[in-house]
Structure 1
Amino acid sequence: MNPVITQLTFHLGEEIGGEGLNSKTYMAHDPQLDATIVVKAMTKFSFNDQLEYFNESKMLYSSRHPNIMVINYACEDDDHVYLSMPYYAKGSLNSLLNRKYLTVREIIKYSLDFLSGLHYIHTKSLIHFDVKPTNIIINDSNRALITDFGLSKYSDDDGFASFDKAYRRHYVPEAFVTTDHTSQYDIYQAGLTLYRMCNGNDDFNTQCMDLSRESISNGTFPARDRFLPHIPNGLRRCIKKALEVNPDKRYQTVIELMNAVSAVNENLDWTYTKNDDVEKWSFDSEKTIDYLTLQFVGDKWVTKGEKYSKKTNKPSNITKYNAKYESKDDAYKQIAKLLKEK
């Protein structure tokens, strides 16, 4: 076949993303399509060989799936390789976590979405090696898509592959002792992503301040016993198993993890918010909205309950929610029991 040399133009705009190791991601305008797109720009010096320039674009194209980001095209100039993808206004899962806390129903929905895409690439003998909220995009249909195959590798006949680089906050325990990895690497990172979806980015960022090789290797990062009260035990168990330090104790396939997550059916619609020093859980039903608040007052942790009637527009006291506790942990334990009763 005869090669055809063409000219392709796009105009780079605002940089988005921010966690790429050797790349930058931009919003851009494509005059050929008259569309806003996303462009990932990778410096050529970051590649070991020019034959690797379009590995990521080939992986994306060959892994087409409803829960994997579509690639429009790939191209190059003297200094960079560019990947063009659709722009979705909802942004990444990471940006969503920076804006709000998710309900359990949202956690399950988005998890099953991106895990479906992850399972598919595993059937193609691909290991992603970079599963994290920044690399999960929410499209215009509110579906979570896994993206960024920049670190992905095809596994050998025995299911092993080695990565070139790693994101420190999602480092996997076994990576300290071996360079040969299986899909268990992705399952651990998926568990860590679910953990962040449950507890929010603020808590995760705080824990990262004490991140070390030791804390990852001994399983104290992230804190497996640290969950917000509305996260049900079933979902906590899923995450703890995915985060087992020993890969043999984790879910052996993404399908197993998906089945466990899909079985969670408690506390689906409690909404959690945190404003300054007040934490609030709310449950919106057909006729009423229940509120439970937690605040440190004096030397006690104080919970209060209120039921708001949509018909009368008047609040009433929920006596069983009103209590005082010596510690936040004690308050959280009781709140978890109260929320489960709803």
Structure 2
Amino acid sequence: MSDATVIAPGGPRRFVGKYRIDGILGEGAMGRVYAGQDPDIDRPVAIKTIHQHLIDAAGSQEWLDRFGREARAAGRVLHQNLVTIFDFLQEDGVPYLVMERIRSITLEDRRASPEPLPLEEVHAIMSQILAGLGCIHAAGIVHRDIKPANVMLTDDGTVKLTDFGIARLTAMEATGAGMAGTPSYMAPEQLMGTEVDARADIYATGVVLYELLTGQKPYKGGGVEALFEAVRNGRMTCPSELVPTLPPALDDIVLKAMNVDREKRFADAREMREALAAVLPRADHTGLIDVAPAPRSAVAQGGPMTATMLSRMSAQTLYKIEQHLTSNIGPMGKIIARRAAASATSTEEMVEAVLREFTNEGERENMRKMIERALSDVSTSASSTPTAFPEDSLAAITDLLKPQLGPIARVLVRQVARKASSLDDLVRQVAENVTEGPERERFLKAAMSALSR
């Protein structure tokens, strides 16, 4: 099965090894995640793979090695706060990672709420993040990319860490393999590309805690170089200065976790977890939380949610921009491109976000022209989507699909809407992503009823 495979409504089932492919859960710059089924035990699974163009491109071994690391890293551990890996296989030269399929939102989604998270919820989330980290650290693994987007919050309140794509198996290979991670969450030693250990994950967890407590990152923009300098200096505003109602003891925990000198950070995840338990209230005796999706008003008051460029552009377009930036400024180009795509909701916003990283006027103008050319197909297809079908119809279908697929429902509906020939066709295609049987029938009936009003 290749990257070009299309799951057609009513068409023959596709298989990867023994696993049946039922539809697409999501897609990003690196690859695609399918909804699948293990026929041996009738278990739903998620199947992650790499885009074919990355496998075919020069330097593809880097992507394949990264994918293999994710399989080995996550597959070596089993813990309730980690996404479980079931299988790793290759077919026609394409690798596939089979993992548990969960209904969840990300911590990034949850953090979008305009109201601050209750301290009980902050405690429950952080406690479970640290429990998961304690497990992988004990197995000799450094995650290296702890951030809200890689923290999943399930329907029953369990927190699960995911995306071990840049993890390093410290017991098997060197950790000083260059800079990898997301700059805003990277420890000073990680930013400088030197050797890292589990305390780099402690630092990143401290950044996540800071965000949950204050609603903002400890170090603000100004370009990548400015961020590097701020992190190296370690000067930040304490959480209680931004939110006076916070216990002052939380400042000590955040500052210790994010200390520039890793020798002065918490020695391990358990120590940080115990420190938080002494300060923050608990939600209940189980430590689990009632995770609610961010309210609609958190995203767009009185209107539909606005997709970022990361969800709207093709993987090929993002890859083209990444490659151009990388050829001009080095490995940081990929990070800059993805960060701009994840924050921008229009081509203009994305262009400006990238250009902020350049000071030379000539370079800025050349970069502007290149990005605008690469994004021209995105703006054309995106602008045609709202006029194809009424926005209230798309919203109604999305709301009915959310109980089945979670937050990815909105992305899926809009992707299908760009190609569907009618609303009936849209509903039928979307329904292919609902478990076959009574659930799918209920969805179809409810969707047709909603659209006929």
Fold equivalence (TM over 0.5): yes
Alignment partners' CA distance in 1, 2:222 and 2:130 = 28
Shift of 1:59: 2.1
The correspondence for 1:90, drawn from 95, 104, 124, is 104
1:236/1:37 CA distance change after superposition, 3 Å: farther
- Percentage identity across aligned positions? 22
Aligned residue type for 1:13: I
1:108-146 per-position Cα deviation (integer Å, ceiling 9, x unaligned):
111111101101111111111111111111123211111
Aligned residue among 193, 212, 234 for 1:219: 234
Give the structure 2 partner of residue 116 of structure 1: 131
8 Å Cα contact 1:153-1:162 kept in structure 2: no
**Which aligned pairs between 1:304-323 and structure 2 lie closer than 5 A?**
none
- Whole-Å separation in 1 of the counterparts to 2:17 and 2:34: 23
Scaled by the length of structure 1, the TM-score of the pair is: 0.65
Q: For the residues of structure 2 that align with 1:84 and 1:39, how far apart are their CA atoms?
A: 5
Aligned residue pairs total 260
For structure 2, the residue ranges without an aligned partner over 5 or more in a row are 1-15, 285-294, 299-453
What is the Cα deviation at residue 166 of structure 1?
2.1
- Is the contact made by 1:25 and 1:38 (CA closer than 8 Å) also made in structure 2? no
Q: Please name the residue that 2:252 is paired with.
A: 237
Which SS does the other structure have where 1:41 is aligned?
Answer: strand
SS across alignment from 1:10: strand
- 1:15 is aligned to 26
Cα distance in 2 between the residues matched to 1:127 and 1:60: 11
What SS class does the counterpart of residue 137 from structure 1 fall into? strand
Residue 207 (str. 1) matches residue 204 (str. 2) = no
In structure 2, the residue matched to 1:144 is 159
Q: CA deviation at 1:74?
A: 2.5
- 41, 47, 57: which one aligns with 1:39: 47
Distance in 2, Cα, partners of 1:151 & 1:90: 22
| Equivalent-residue separation in structure 2 for 1:240 and 1:51 (angstroms) | 35
Contact 2:17 2:91 in 1 (8 A): no
Q: Shift of residue 80 of structure 1?
A: 3.8
- Cα separation, partners in 2 of 1:168 and 1:75, compared to 1, 3 Å: same
Contact 1:169 1:208 in 2 (8 A): no
Partner of 1:174: 189
1:84 Cα shift?
Answer: 2.6
Relative distance call for 1:163 and 1:135 in structure 2 (3 A) is farther
Q: How does 1:1-342 map to 2 (within 5 A)?
A: 6-15=17-26, 23-26=30-33, 28-30=35-37, 32=39, 37-42=45-50, 43-44=54-55, 46-48=60-62, 53-78=67-92, 80-99=94-113, 101-156=116-171, 161-164=175-178, 165-177=180-192, 179-200=194-215, 203-204=216-217, 207-208=220-221, 212-220=227-235, 223-225=237-239, 227-265=242-280
Q: 1 CA distance for matches of 2:246 and 2:149?
A: 22
* Cα contact 2:175–2:197 (8 A) shared by 1: yes
User: What amino acid sits opposite 2:189 in the alignment?
Assistant: E
In structure 1, how many angstroms separate the alpha carbons of the residues matched to 2:21 and 2:75?
21
Q: 1:98 to 1:27 in 2, by over 3 A?
A: farther
The structure-2 alpha-carbon separation of the partners of 1:54 and 1:173, relative to structure 1 and needing over 3 Å to count, comes to: closer
Residues 77 and 229 (structure 1), Cα distance of their counterparts in 2 relative to 1, 3 Å cut: farther
1:14 shift after superposition = 4.4
Q: Which amino acid aligns with 1:59?
A: A
SS at match of 2:112: helix
Rounded to whole Å, the distance in 1 between the matches of 2:38 and 2:270 is 41
Q: Is the 8 A contact 2:69 2:166 kept in 1?
A: no
Q: Secondary structure at the match of 2:217?
A: helix
Partner Cα distance (1:156, 1:29) in 2: 33
Cα distance in 2 between the residues matched to 1:136 and 1:13:
21
Gaps of 5+ in 1: 277-342
**Structure number with higher helix proportion:** 2
Structure 1 stretches of 4+ moved >6 Å: 266-269
Q: 1-side partners of 2:282 and 2:18: how far apart?
A: 54
Q: Tell me if structure 1 keeps the 8 A contact 2:214–2:242.
A: yes
